[in-house]
């Protein structure tokens, strides 16, 4: 997922070696390093989670703190080494993984001043996205890209859909506020909008639900709407995924058929030989 950061021969030997260990996975040491990182990420996120559970924290607070310090020191050293060994430092620092690597250590230092920010250490989990590289899972990576690309390509349509949906929920929420007349859960328009979103997305917590017959009738209309318009994002993404083909260049020279499998030797529509 990170661009190739080639090194030039002038670099000192240890930098080149370290670069290979830290950034690549094609050596034994490189693989071991990546694996160690993965273990530390999992350990670190587990610790953050367990620290939040008062039962565990009461017993093991000191252990958690010590482990967190050690892991953070390790991650910090690693981050510094990444910057040192790479040639195009700027491009790394502002790359997707560069930012994540930074966010994985920042909360610890911040938490020395603002304790609550400690929990942002959970962002370390994002580093797990590198996992596919470690195990050389090329197919998985391709599939990951496939999903990300399909979401990216349909994002504009989905944003507009969400804009429509939000306007719809605001209006329905206000209407419901007038109908349910300040009852519990409908004390204000924002509250009613919250209810409208809970309903239209078919989440339906039930912490707020209509009481009056008219309110229930409106709810029914809203639920049926939600049940129907869930088709919109689904349709958008599905259409997008169908559009994406593995091999977009292949096309039959005679009939223009574009649906040509990778293993095809003849066009399945007109029988023309595919070169």
Window 55 to 114, contacts with its own copies (CB under 8 A): none
Nearer to its own copies, 90 or 258 (CB): 258
Q: What angle do CA 58, 47, 110 make, to 5 degrees?
A: 95
Least distance to its own copies, CB of residue 94, Å: 21
Question: Mind giving me the DSSP string for the chain?
Answer: -PPP----TTS-HHHHHHHHHHH--SSHHHHHHHHHHHHHHHHHHHHHHHHHSHHHHHHHHHHHHHHHHHHHHHHHHHHHHHHHH-S-HHHHHTSHHHHHHHHTTHHHHHHTTSGGGGGGGGGGGGGGGGHHHHTT-HHHHHHHHHHHHHHHHHHHHHHHHHHHHHHHHHHHHHHHHHHTTT-TT-SSHHHHHHHHHHHHTT---SSS---SHHHHHHHHHHHHHHHHHTHHHHHHHHHHHHH--S-SS---TTT------TT-SB-TTT-PBP-
Q: Binding string, 20-49, against its own copies, x = CB under 8 A?
A: -------------------------x--xx
Sole binder of its own copies in the list 61, 96, 143, 214 (CB under 8 A)? 143
Residue with smaller CB distance to its own copies, 95 or 225: 225
Site for its own copies in 151-210 (CB under 8 A): 151, 156-167, 170-171, 174, 177-178, 187-191, 193-194, 197-207, 209
* Cβ at position 1, least distance to its own copies in Å: 13
User: How many residues line the site for its own copies (CB under 8 A)?
Assistant: 102
Stretch that binds its own copies, among 26-34, 69-77, 85-93, 148-156 (CB under 8 A): 148-156
| Interface with its own copies in residues 245-274 (CB under 8 A) | 252, 254-261, 263-273
**Only segment of 6-14, 20-28, 59-67, 219-227 that touches its own copies (CB under 8 A):** 219-227
Task: Give whichever of 77 and 109 is closer to its own copies, judged by the CB atom.
Answer: 109
Region binding its own copies by CB under 8 A among candidate stretches 26-34, 64-72, 75-83, 214-222: 214-222
17 interacts with its own copies by CB under 8 A? no
């Amino acid at each position: 997922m990170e661009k190739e950061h080639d090194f030039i021969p002038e670099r000192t030997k240890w930098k080149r070696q370290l670069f290979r260990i830290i950034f690549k996975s094609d050596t034994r040491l490189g693989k071991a390093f990546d694996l160690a990182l993965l273990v530390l990420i999992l350990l670190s996120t587990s610790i953050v989670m367990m620290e939040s559970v008062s039962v565990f924290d009461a017993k093991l607070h000191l252990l958690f703190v010590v482990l967190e310090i050690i892991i953070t020191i390790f991650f910090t050293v690693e981050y510094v080494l990444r910057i040192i060994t790479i040639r195009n430092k700027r491009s790394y620092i502002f790359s997707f993984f560069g930012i994540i690597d930074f966010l994985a250590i920042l909360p610890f230092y911040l938490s020395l001043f603002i304790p609550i920010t400690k929990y942002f250490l959970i962002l370390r989990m994002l580093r797990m996205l590198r996992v596919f590289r470690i195990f050389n899972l090329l197919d998985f990576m391709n599939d990951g890209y496939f999903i990300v690309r399909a979401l990216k390509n349909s994002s504009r349509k989905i944003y507009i859909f969400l804009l429509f949906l939000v306007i719809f929920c605001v209006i329905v929420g206000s209407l419901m506020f007038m109908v349910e007349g300040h009852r519990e859960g409908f004390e204000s328009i924002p509250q009613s909008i919250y209810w409208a979103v809970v309903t239209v997305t078919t989440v339906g917590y039930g912490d707020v639900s209509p009481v009056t017959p008219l309110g229930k009738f409106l709810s029914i209309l809203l639920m049926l709407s939600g049940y129907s318009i869930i088709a919109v994002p689904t349709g958008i993404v599905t259409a997008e995924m169908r559009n994406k083909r593995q091999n977009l260049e292949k096309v039959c020279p005679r009939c223009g058929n574009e649906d040509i499998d990778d293993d095809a030797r003849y066009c399945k529509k007109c029988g023309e030989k595919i070169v």
